[in-house]
Structure 1
Amino acid sequence: MLNKELKRTALSLAISGMLGISLMQYAGTAMAANNDGAIHGTVSNEMAEHLQDAQVTIVDKATGIKRSVTVKSDGRFRFPRLPIGSYEITVQKNGYETLKLDNVSVGIGNATTLELTMTSGDVEVISVSGARIAMIDTTSTESALNISALELERLPVARSINSVALLAPGTAGGGRHGGLSFGGASGAENAVFINGLNVTDPELPTSYSSVPFSFYKDFQIKTGGYSAEFGRTTGGVVNAVVKSGTNQFEFGADVYYSPDALRGDGKNTYDKLGRKVVNRENDSNDSLTASVYAAGPIIEDKLFFFALYEPRLVQSDSWNSTDTHLSKYEDDSGFWGGKLDWYITDDHLLEFIAFSDESDGTTDIIKDGVLDSTTLSSSGGKNYIATYTGHFSEDFVMKAMYGELERQYRSNATTALECNRVMDYTKLGPIFDLSCTSLGMTDDRINKRESMRLDFEWNITDAHLLRFGMDYETRITQMDRAYPGTTATRYEIRDVVPGGSLNGETLSDEYDYYVRARTRKTFGNFETETSAFYVEDIWSVTDTITLTLGARYDEFDTTGAGGTGFMKVDGMFSPRAGFAWDVSGDGETKVFANLGRYYYPLPNSLVAREGGGTVDVSNYYYMEGGLLVDGVWQGGFTENVISTGQTNLTPNLGPIIGEAIEFGAVEAAEDQSYRIDNDLEASFQDEVILGMETMLNQDWRLGGRLIYRKFENAVEDMKVYRDWGDCNSPGTWLIGNPGKVISLQLECNGQMQTVEVDLGKEQIQAGHAQNKTDQDIGSPVPFRKYGAMELVLEKQWDDLWSFYGSYTWAHSWGNYEGGVNSDTTNNVAGWLEYGDDPMYLVGGYGNLPNDVRHQFKLRGAYAVTDQWTISSSLNMSSGRPLNVRGVGNPYTEDEHYYMNWVCVENCAGDDSASRVYNAIPRGSYGRTDWLISLDARLSYKTQIAGMDTRVSLDVFNVFNTQVVTRTDQFLTEVDSVGIPNDDFGVATALQGQRSMQLSASIRF
């Protein structure tokens, strides 16, 4: 028997080596999430007495893998780190009937709780009645929604992780910059895991790698109260696992088709001159994907495979606002992915995963019916994961994960190197884009994540489960991006309003137009190293009370473009404490609480823009010559014909207006430490949750949570205006914590010494030219607060129908949104406007952009017959605040920033001290309309030639509601004090129009 087992193990090693070599050669290191599950419970006799030493055995029904444990003295048993799936449970003890359960499900990140009662009698008798599976995990203190791919097949849900996450209470769209908002956080503060690998983009965390839905097996949406193994997120966590092979060969195919012919008519929006702003009426979009997969045993009970390939074709046409430029986009890239599972023994598992979501698209720009240029774009990349799980005894388990993420952003055009980007923002100009290229920036950027993690679980005693581990991660950003054109300069043309103020000067009536010329380019490699250690004790205080006590320690260290050290933060200690009470002792009602601190990592986006290698300079000029006649420019430009025969325009620049505005650090190899706070503190969020869950009966569950979160201590680049006395000036742009003391190492009288400045009191000194007052001006500390109440009512699927309903009341307020700034177009975390002028935070208090006060989420499915199923999902959310802004403020001279003031008197001229401003409190202009969307699904399943077949129709936004989701919220022209913005209040974004998706699947 042993010889046979050794032969099978050797054969498995040889075959897995041949099949997995392509995975192994790329496997770097991976950050893990709890991408598995557990089974735990108690064993008692008819008199409710604990049965010590009973033998509990589980068998994975898909793979045949078997594992056994012995019941402890308190009647408890536990199977940790189990693959997601269905298990058969057998309990044996001398003098008692053997107890057996079939189809016990294990979900991602969850522990299935069993209460087993054995009956005295003949050991040969098998009992199936003395067991209860609790619907509530009464030991968990986390807040999460679990949903399987099988359940999603019954619901009208778009095929994206974002759509799945939006099913959870308290989640909303991320607003202007995309992503998701968890608990009032910005869309840049979340983490997405696939089989333990953090696939969130290291630079722009609103995006992430993804796989087709046919590859997914299970999802978990963590909305709060995470255990100590999780960190580096102040939003939410999306946890997903992919499918594995089993002892049964399985083949399948899924086809999804979203035709443009079945889309609802798109709406347009118009400015106050009747010109289109959002142009949807002639747009089109067709999408077709077809997944094919195969799975099964390579060696039965030992080695399994799952492989999937998905070709796709996406085509879309979109017009510019004047119907003169047509953009035709096409992407026919394919996804591939696979997984190998090798059970070395029943107690030792190796997993290898690889997938590629690389996408290559082309966009043809057609002007007046003639091909003008072609833009080439690439995104996504390859991901590799290797995982080992070892059960060394009943009480000790180790898990090691390794993996690598790579995401590319490449964008170029046939005319990009020869054509300037020239934009016409004048009131009479009917065509906004005067460029011979439509490309916003040339981009050749790669973001990587290399990481490593070890996790251990040790049952020290019957009452204490100790969990501990470490993770190490390197985030790499390779930047090569610039504005198009030979000088990497973008030109914006606007009207001159005589007497108006621009960039600190009074505008002259000698010119009709001015030009903002912004030169922008970045080149270099930037790294962030993060490491963490955690420990957590799950303490069963009594049979009904569980305490979870943990702590996490993090460090962040970054490197600039020249390889020199940049920012470093250590000493981040995160306590976590949770309490769970099984109120009645029967697993039917749980009261729980959670308290924790969570740190937000130093973003690669800030390092890549401030760590050297960046040129970002804006200058303002009067435009020489040029006049708009019937919407056509007469003069004002220098023209040259490029290699394609097209004409490139460069505005004729006249006298400069004000001084240059510079961002970033140009010298790649320059040591930047002189301008970085030596005692930099990371951003963090404290969270308190109090909740309750109860089973109303066998099928219905009621739950509720009270939540309070506070985010503070932002890391930003800041403008600091002061006289440094005998010390060499570190420059205007410093990096630290707004509103806190900044500590710098400066050369003073020929010697290095520590200089500290309290930025909360004197970010701009009295007497400085930028200070309009006679007092020092300091900055408040950035913060965000969130309070919420959530209610959930759920009925489990019983092969006939299911229901889920949630209501969330929430309030998000403060002066700091988080990793992005929805008040502007800035989505670069750490490089936002909050530190650029103290008054940005002083005047920025109020309801924040992700303040969605009310949310109703209702969904359900009903099996009309054995073949036909109908389902629907209704989402209703109240509008977001209209945070109206104007240029300038009554305290400082930084007049090119939008803030919460508007000039109402003496706005013309250059005497800024005499200007009168009115404050514009956040949300004082009301809110957007309620966002309501009803989705529906009709599904039919049958068997054709022995194959399980399903066809479905999904309709998203059934009533084609297209409410306004964003308006132009700027009261004044860009960079201009007191000059009204004629487009204020114009709708700039709408809810997505109705779409339909036809799908078919076969399984055999």
Structure 2
Amino acid sequence: MKSKWLVVSSVLAFSMIFSVSIEAQDQGAARGNLGGIVYDPSKATVPGAQVTITGPIGSLSQSTTEQGSFLFSTLIPGSYSIKVQKAGFKIASVKSAEVQINKTTSIEVILETGQVSETVEVSAATVTVDTSTSAVTADISDTFFQNIPVQRGVANLFYLSPGAVDGIQTGSNNPSISGSSGLENSYVADGVSINDPAFGGLGVWARSYGALGSGINQSFVKEVQIKTGGFEPQYGHASGGIVQIVTKSGSTKTHGELGGYFHPLGMQTTPLNADDPQFGRVNLFGRYLGNANYEGDAELGGYAPLGKLRDHLFYFGNFNPSVNNQYVAPAVGSGLSTAYNGQLQRTKTSYDYAGKLTFKINDRQTIESSVFGDPSHTNNVPWASLNASDKTVNSKWDYGTRNWAARYDGTLTSTWLVDGAFTWSWNHFTETPLADVTQIQDESALLQAGTFNAQGFGFLEPYDSNTRSISFDTSKTFHFLGQHTFSIGYNWQFPVYDDSTSYSGGKFALPATNASGGDPGYGTATNPTVAGKMTDASLVLEPISAVSNSSGCTLCPYMADSVGGGSPVQVVLVQSRGRFDGGITKSSGKYHAGYVNDSWALGKRVTVNLGLRWEQQRLVGNQLNKLFNDMWSPRLGFVLDPKGDRKTKFYANYGRYAFILPLDAAIRALSAEDDVLGAYWAPASKTTGCPAGTPAGASCIQTDSSGNPDYANMFKPSSATLLNSASGGIGNAVTVGLSGGEPFQPGIRMEYTDEYVAGFQHEFRGGIVFGVRYIDRRLKRVIEDEGGISVEQFNALANNGGGLNYFIGNPNLKSDIFVNPNEQTFAGVDETQSACAANGG
């Protein structure tokens, strides 16, 4: 697989949006730098000038070096004012410079000759072409996105980055970045990984419904950085894009905000779908009619007015309740359409919250802790289907995330930075049916054509998960044949995922015998273990003609053919699966990563970035575990500034990105569950009042007061109704066993992608930056299911009760892990027209 695309962009570069890259910080970094050079009127550098910056949590000062430069490290993102003074020059005042995460905002200040008592406000030249990195990055701060028309929700900010497009099946919260799947991105907020550990999406991800919520609200966001290519070695755990989010902080001034957002249904037109009834087409899925959104926002930030804490402790809090109404129409002619008079309202309510405390130990060290979450719930309406007989398909959800981060940032010396963090995130999703009724899907085509949900909700899959992580990073700047910034870091993650599966309708005990008193097919070795165990079921009502070994079923009742008007047909309830092991599958993982990097500036014109990342992942299921070890990912970047004026750059980058498997792989491949498979049950029946054509003495299904099948009382699980291997029942035995689990190919390694980037940027007058870049990504090694037989052989097995054995491996042209003992070699066939004519074809 490969994805090639060429992006040409001409961007108006405001100083608050684009600035120069920080030399090294870890993937969860929430700090930036502010640096620059001070000149005199002749453009000679000025050493020994005093530079004072004032920002969100106070002021810092330092003197310029012998080269006239200064650098303030590990700053909280935000706006900073700058004053520069030295004897013989007027004081230069810069009103505002924006500091962003993982960046060094670089400015140039020219002092005017005069008295120190005089102050001149100057417009410092902000460098907008980052000549220190070959990474492809878009930085979007609140000062930008609050002043442009953008949809509500933090995920909508991701699409402002070139290279981010709709992920289609991954939901709007998970864009495809640089051609990768939307589930291959890494999302980090204040150092917390807010990816769902089981599937990889943003926030909560449910197998049945996809992306639900984002884990963080837009009102709490200070800045979003989207990396679409050229990742430095401190970035990993993804082969798509890297999305970093930094939240707002308190400051030396108390500030607050109250706001609201209203988008009622009446402010939009009704969507016109291709299958709208006015076009004469039948829609069996229901229709989307529109939505209405309402939000409130309250935030407050400032300092602790408690003596000496006033200059050290700062706070910020935010509360953002929201209501999202979606209006839909059930399928025309369905029971739901009648029950809701053709339209219903689905409502999601969220109570997003966030808070942050920042403690300034001194001018060089800070400790920060933040919490945020999005507890959410819905009303009890049809979410899974809009085509059902009644409201027993209704359900309500309860879901959301909770996140906590604690972080230390320190500047040990002017050339030595260090930071560390501990984070913990929780995700959960639960679904509660309106009625706890066993699901019956009618595939008989006797009451109405086609398949429909006669009653009940069916499959439920709630889950709980949490992820803990520890990270550490340090960098040191020194000079040897140029300037080097050497960094090293480590990251550990421990995700846990508890997956529950069940069916609506409650539990029932597995009978020890079938309808004729025999073994239903459990087998004498396992019968004592299986009998009496509690299980549940989802059922399908089928004609016995669709079931093998059913021709002699005298216990299968008859059902009237209301569709075709023919003779009554025998039917049976088919249970495809019923779990009897408690229903919870636990999985976990352990992820370790380390990196080293050297950013080497050879003078003003050339910068080389040399890095290496190491990764290891262990997946743990409830039966097995699998280690993926020693994944080495080199990163190499080259930047050329032809004139050394930081106005132009040519750059190239090579990177290898490993894909870390989500825990759903541990559920499917390393875990197992105890199931009853292929059980057949006799529907509740009667021997009087049967439809015309029912053989004498035969039974027919029970009906309700309207004469339709009585689905509500159709399933009565007991020995008397279990038909497997029973005399007069179904000839097939119940299959009982350990289902799940899939072996791994010996020597399997991590999946990875190789990426090549080349580009050019130039800044014109007025701060306009033109850029062009080329990104080439190639999936070099993949992890995928492998089967060792042909499609024809598989179909033959499937039609005769067999199946295909799968392995999980790295398929490629050289793979040879299967042995087919009955391999058949076919001779070549001459299919030319003359040959066919000669053979009568």
For normalisation by structure 2, the TM-score amounts to 0.73
Change over 3 Å in CA distance of 1:648–1:478 after alignment to 2:
farther
1:148 pairs with one of 111, 127, 141: 141
Query: Quick one: distance in 2 between partners of 1:69 and 1:158?
Result: 44
Report the AA paired with residue 185 of structure 1.
Answer: S
Match of 1:932 in 2: none
Q: CA deviation at 1:612?
A: 2.1
Query: Quick one: distance in 1 between partners of 2:636 and 2:736?
Result: 48
Contact 1:312–1:334 (Cα < 8 Å) also in 2: yes
Change over 3 Å in CA distance of 1:598–1:573 after alignment to 2:
same
Contact 2:35–2:104 (Cα < 8 Å) also in 1: yes
Q: CA deviation at 1:145?
A: 1.1
Contact 1:511–1:622 (Cα < 8 Å) also in 2: no
2:649 pairs with one of 590, 593, 607: 590
Alignment of 1:221 onto 2:286: no
Comparing both structures, which one devotes a greater share of its residues to strand? 1
Matches within 5 A, 1:496-511: none
Identity among equivalent positions (%) equals 21
Matches within 5 A, 1:170-569: 170-178=163-171, 179-208=174-203, 209-270=214-275, 274-280=281-287, 283=289, 285-299=291-305, 300-322=310-332, 323-325=334-336, 326=340, 328-364=345-381, 372=392, 375-416=395-436, 418-422=437-441, 424=443, 429=448, 432-438=451-457, 440-461=458-479, 463-485=483-505, 486=507, 487-491=535-539, 517-519=575-577, 523-561=584-622, 566-569=625-628
Alignment of 1:647 onto 2:712: yes
Contact 1:268–1:276 (Cα < 8 Å) also in 2: no
1:53-88 Cα offsets, whole Å, 9 max, x none, are 5355342333223143642x5554433322111122
Q: CA deviation at 1:530?
A: 0.4
Q: CA deviation at 1:262?
A: 2.2
Q: CA deviation at 1:387?
A: 0.9
Match of 2:740 in 1: 665
Report the AA paired with residue 693 of structure 1.
Answer: Q
Query: Quick one: distance in 2 between partners of 1:609 and 1:616?
Result: 15
Q: CA deviation at 1:546?
A: 1.2
Q: CA deviation at 1:183?
A: 1.3
Give the gaps of 5 or more residues in structure 1: 1-29, 501-509, 630-634, 667-671, 723-730, 742-757, 776-1004
Q: CA deviation at 1:203?
A: 0.7
Change over 3 Å in CA distance of 1:98–1:535 after alignment to 2:
farther
SS at structure 2 position matched to 1:233: coil
Q: CA deviation at 1:678?
A: 4.6
Change over 3 Å in CA distance of 1:268–1:49 after alignment to 2:
closer
SS at structure 1 position matched to 2:430: strand
Query: Quick one: distance in 1 between partners of 2:787 and 2:361?
Result: 59
Query: Quick one: distance in 1 between partners of 2:730 and 2:29?
Result: 61
1:363-399 Cα offsets, whole Å, 9 max, x none, are 1359999864752311112111111111111111111
Query: Quick one: distance in 1 between partners of 2:676 and 2:235?
Result: 40
- Once the two structures are overlaid, the 10-residue window that deviates more, 371-380 or 178-187, is 371-380
SS at structure 2 position matched to 1:606: helix
Contact 2:26–2:489 (Cα < 8 Å) also in 1: no
Alignment of 1:34 onto 2:29: yes
SS at structure 2 position matched to 1:602: coil
Matches within 5 A, 1:902-981: none
Contact 1:257–1:289 (Cα < 8 Å) also in 2: yes
Query: Quick one: distance in 2 between partners of 1:589 and 1:649?
Result: 76
Query: Quick one: distance in 1 between partners of 2:773 and 2:445?
Result: 52
Report the AA paired with residue 324 of structure 1.
Answer: G
Change over 3 Å in CA distance of 1:268–1:50 after alignment to 2:
closer
Change over 3 Å in CA distance of 1:333–1:622 after alignment to 2:
closer
Q: CA deviation at 1:307?
A: 1.0
Contact 1:420–1:648 (Cα < 8 Å) also in 2: no
Change over 3 Å in CA distance of 1:595–1:684 after alignment to 2:
same
Query: Quick one: distance in 1 between partners of 2:786 and 2:63?
Result: 58
Change over 3 Å in CA distance of 1:536–1:117 after alignment to 2:
farther
SS at structure 2 position matched to 1:257: strand
* Number of positions where the alignment pairs a residue of Structure 1 with one of Structure 2: 686
1:953-982 Cα offsets, whole Å, 9 max, x none, are xxxxxxxxxxxxxxxxxxxxxxxxxxxxxx
Report the AA paired with residue 599 of structure 2.
Answer: I
Query: Quick one: distance in 2 between partners of 1:556 and 1:74?
Result: 46
Contact 2:607–2:638 (Cα < 8 Å) also in 1: yes
Q: CA deviation at 1:640?
A: 11
1:861-884 Cα offsets, whole Å, 9 max, x none, are xxxxxxxxxxxxxxxxxxxxxxxx
Query: Quick one: distance in 1 between partners of 2:94 and 2:280?
Result: 72
Contact 2:389–2:455 (Cα < 8 Å) also in 1: no
Change over 3 Å in CA distance of 1:423–1:448 after alignment to 2:
farther
For normalisation by structure 1, the TM-score amounts to 0.62
Report the AA paired with residue 552 of structure 1.
Answer: R
Query: Quick one: distance in 2 between partners of 1:196 and 1:223?
Result: 19
Query: Quick one: distance in 1 between partners of 2:149 and 2:445?
Result: 45
Query: Quick one: distance in 2 between partners of 1:607 and 1:663?
Result: 16
Q: CA deviation at 1:687?
A: 0.6
1:909-949 Cα offsets, whole Å, 9 max, x none, are xxxxxxxxxxxxxxxxxxxxxxxxxxxxxxxxxxxxxxxxx
Match of 1:738 in 2: 810
Contact 1:189–1:600 (Cα < 8 Å) also in 2: yes
Q: CA deviation at 1:153?
A: 2.2
Change over 3 Å in CA distance of 1:130–1:166 after alignment to 2:
closer
SS at structure 2 position matched to 1:188: helix
Q: CA deviation at 1:355?
A: 1.4
Query: Quick one: distance in 2 between partners of 1:640 and 1:560?
Result: 47
Match of 2:764 in 1: 696
Alignment of 1:108 onto 2:101: yes
Q: CA deviation at 1:656?
A: 7.9
Query: Quick one: distance in 2 between partners of 1:169 and 1:624?
Result: 59
